[in-house]
Amino acid sequence: MSSDAALYLDACATTPLLPQVQDAMALAQRDAWANPSSLHGFGLAASESLERARLQLGRYLGTVANAVLFCSGATESIDLALLGAAAQLQPGRLLISAVEHPAVVAAAQRLARRGWQLQRIPVDRQGRINLVALEALLEPPTRLVSVIWGQSEVGTVQPLETIGNLCRRHGVLLHSDAVQLAPHVPIHFDQLPVDLLSLTAHKLGGPRGIGCLLVRPGLELQSRLGGGAQERGLRAGTEPVVLAAGFAAALEVAQRAHTNGEAQRVERMRNRLLAELTQLDQVQLSGPDPALSPRLPHHISVMVQNRRGGWLPGRQLVRALWRQGIAASSGSACSAASGGPAASPVLQAMGFDAAQAASGLRLSLGPWLQESELGRVCLALDAAIARCGSEAPDP
Ligand SMILES: Cc1ncc(COP(=O)(O)O)c(C=O)c1O
């Protein structure tokens, strides 16, 4: 299948670079290519461009420029948030939700090896955090909490403000992975009861290789890398000025999408496609029904059966859909790429058994799509179900 004729329904994995981002990056590459630490005019131009991008990001995210720390992406941002904050605390209990991205799980496991007690906050069948359990767990020795705001695999949006207020009441630091939410919901960091927030550019039409950590002013972090004193001494390494310009341009487009109707258009397309897909007898929604509970507005996740009632492996369905020109995903992109576990730990944490947890299929939409193109998705899934049901199981 040529990717020209294909439909890209995998925005949660990454997004195509926006033309506005390409333009901003070309300009920065031309005028601000030098090292921002250099004292000559070339360096000053690079430094100005970097600080302009930081200022813009701060403005779009409802905070001051100083709160924005650039880094290579959300994985690094999460690592810096959790390990950098924990290094300033006595080891105690660290809570993470049972539905975190592997980047948070990996950072938390490192802390566990350094003497922290790692505990998962349970979730319900829709992936929503059990707030009663959370409140009970916030007693000492809990010192740090990390919660994914918009869940990448099943679309659940957590009540971050409520969670943050609970953490504040107990004097516990809160980090949130806002990677999937940031492209779709305006963020006002200074108004959120959250201490650390991780974002990445490539989920919102920006370049890969840059993200940021928003840090509540006054909060002490320990740097993870030795070397230069860039990013207020918290992230050594020559700053990616051109990528920062692209990140700022991408956020600007995302902001405008809320006022020019584009964000609402994507959500309407999602709602229609979701309604069509769940008409199929073999398809069951996973994560919240957006009519009843908050869900990422571009996100569809389902579990799929064959016509005899057995659960179909999501990875087989993804291949069968791609043969028809539809790019979708099973589970998180990271575990899929590494050939990771077939049964999704996220779906298992939500109470599904191993066979059902291996049958996850995710379709995530973006502004590059037109409603008229989506008509063939449901037919393609129906054909994929028929085809997979008659094939040998995935190895
Ligand atoms: C929810 C979530 N957190 C973190 C990451 C990691 O982001 P990055 O690729 O920028 O390291 C991803 C990307 O897959 C994600 O979806």
- Whether 234 is in a domain gets the answer yes
The tens-digit pLDDT sequence of the chain (395 residues) is 445 589 999 999 999 999 999 999 999 999 999 999 999 999 999 999 999 999 999 999 999 999 999 999 999 999 999 999 999 999 999 999 999 999 999 999 999 999 999 999 999 999 999 999 999 999 999 999 999 999 999 999 999 999 999 999 999 999 999 999 999 999 999 999 999 999 999 999 999 999 999 999 999 999 999 999 999 999 999 999 999 999 999 999 999 998 999 999 999 999 999 999 999 999 999 999 999 999 999 999 999 999 899 999 999 999 999 999 999 999 644 454 445 448 999 999 999 999 999 999 999 999 999 999 999 999 999 999 998 876 655 44
Measured in whole angstroms, how far is the alpha carbon of residue 141 from the centre of its chain?
29
217 φψ region: left (φ > 0), alpha (ψ -120 to 50), beta (else): beta
Q: Distance between CA 142 and CA 178 in Å, rounded?
A: 22
CA torsion 29→35→37→38, rounded to 10°? -110
Joined tokens for residue 272: 């229609």
Q: Is residue 395 part of a domain?
A: no
Domain that holds residue 369: 7-16+261-389
Do residues 317 and 243 share a domain?
Answer: no
Rounded to an integer, what distance in angstroms lies between the CA atom of residue 59 and that of residue 255?
Answer: 11
Residue 163, Cβ neighbours under 10 Å: how many?
24
Say yes or no: 252 and 334 in one domain.
Answer: no
Distance CA 384, CA 382 (A): 5
* DSSP result, 47-114: HHHHHHHHHHHHHHTTS-GGGEEEESSHHHHHHHHHHHHHTTS-S-EEEEETT--HHHHHHHHHHHHT
CA distance 226 to 115: 23
Please tell me whether residues 267 and 119 are part of one structural domain. no
Does 394 reside within a domain?
Answer: no
CB contact burial 79-111 (16+ within 10 A = b; e otherwise): bbbbbbbbeeeeeebbbbbbbbbbbbbebbeeb
Residue whose CB lies within 8 A of the most ligand 1 atoms, among 75, 247, 338, for a mutation test: 75
Ligand 1, from 196, 203, 296, 330: best to mutate by most atoms within 8 Å of Cβ?
Answer: 203
Specify whether 145 is located in the same domain as 214.
yes
**Given the CA of residue 332, which atom of ligand 1 is nearest to it?**
14
* Pair of tokens at residue 278: 């769940």
324, part of any domain: yes
What CATH number does the domain containing 34 carry?
3.40.640.10
Residues 229 and 371 in one domain: no
- CB–CB of 253/20 below 8 Å? yes
The bridge status of strand 93-97 relative to strand 142-148 is parallel
Question: How far apart are alpha carbons 284 and 116 in whole angstroms?
Answer: 38
Q: Are residues 236 and 357 in the same domain?
A: no
Atom 14 of ligand 1, nearest CA residue:
13
For the chain, the C-alpha Rg in angstroms (whole number) is: 21
Tell me, what's the pLDDT at 4?
53
Among 256, 279, 310, which residue terminates a domain? 256
Pick the last residue of a domain from 230, 256, 282: 256
> Rounded to whole angstroms, how far apart are CA atoms 309 and 305?
5
68 in a domain, yes or no?
A: yes
Pocket test for ligand 1, best of 200, 247, 298, 364 (most atoms within 8 A of CB): 200
Distance between CA atoms of 8 and 240, rounded to whole angstroms? 28
* Three-class DSSP category at 351: coil
For residue 211 the two structure tokens come to 């993200």
Q: Which helix (H) or strand (E) holds 300?
A: strand 299-304
Say if residues 230 and 223 touch (Cβ distance below 8 Å). Answer: no
> What is the value of pTM for the model shown?
0.95
CATH code (residue 272): 3.90.1150.10
In this prediction, residue 393 carries a pLDDT of: 52
- Cβ atoms 235, 214 nearer than 8 A: no
Same domain for 189 and 77: yes
- Which ligand 1 atom is nearest residue 334's CA? 14
pLDDT score of 391: 60
181 and 90 in a single domain? The answer is yes
Q: How far away, in angstroms, is 208 Cα from ligand 1 center? A: 11
Question: Within this chain, do residues 79 and 182 fall inside the same structural domain, yes or no?
Answer: yes
Q: How many domains does the chain have?
A: 2
What is the predicted pLDDT for the residue at 270? 98
Q: Is residue 67 domain-shared with residue 141, that is, in the same domain?
A: yes
Sequence-separated (6 or more) residues with CB below 8 Å from residue 276: 377, 378
Determine whether 334 is an active site residue: yes
Examine the domain organization and report whether 252 and 297 are in the same domain: no
Query: Which residues' Cβ are closer than 6 Å to ligand 1?
Result: 73-75, 101, 103, 148, 152, 177, 179-180, 200, 211, 333-334
Q: What is the DSSP letter of 128?
A: -
Asked if residue 348 is part of any domain, the answer here is yes
Structural domain contains residue 213:
yes
What is the CA angle 51-36-175, rounded to 5? Answer: 50
Q: Is residue 101 part of a domain?
A: yes
Q: Which atom of ligand 1 is nearest to the CA of 76?
A: 11
> Exposure of 315 by Cβ count < 10 A (0-12 exposed, 13-18 middle, 19+ buried)?
buried
Are 32 and 125 part of one and the same domain? Answer: yes
Among 219, 241, 256, the domain-final residue is: 256
Looking up tokens 């997004």 gives 15
Cite the DSSP H helix spans in the chain: 19-31, 41-60, 74-86, 102-113, 131-137, 160-169, 241-259, 262-277, 314-322, 333-337, 345-349, 354-357, 375-389
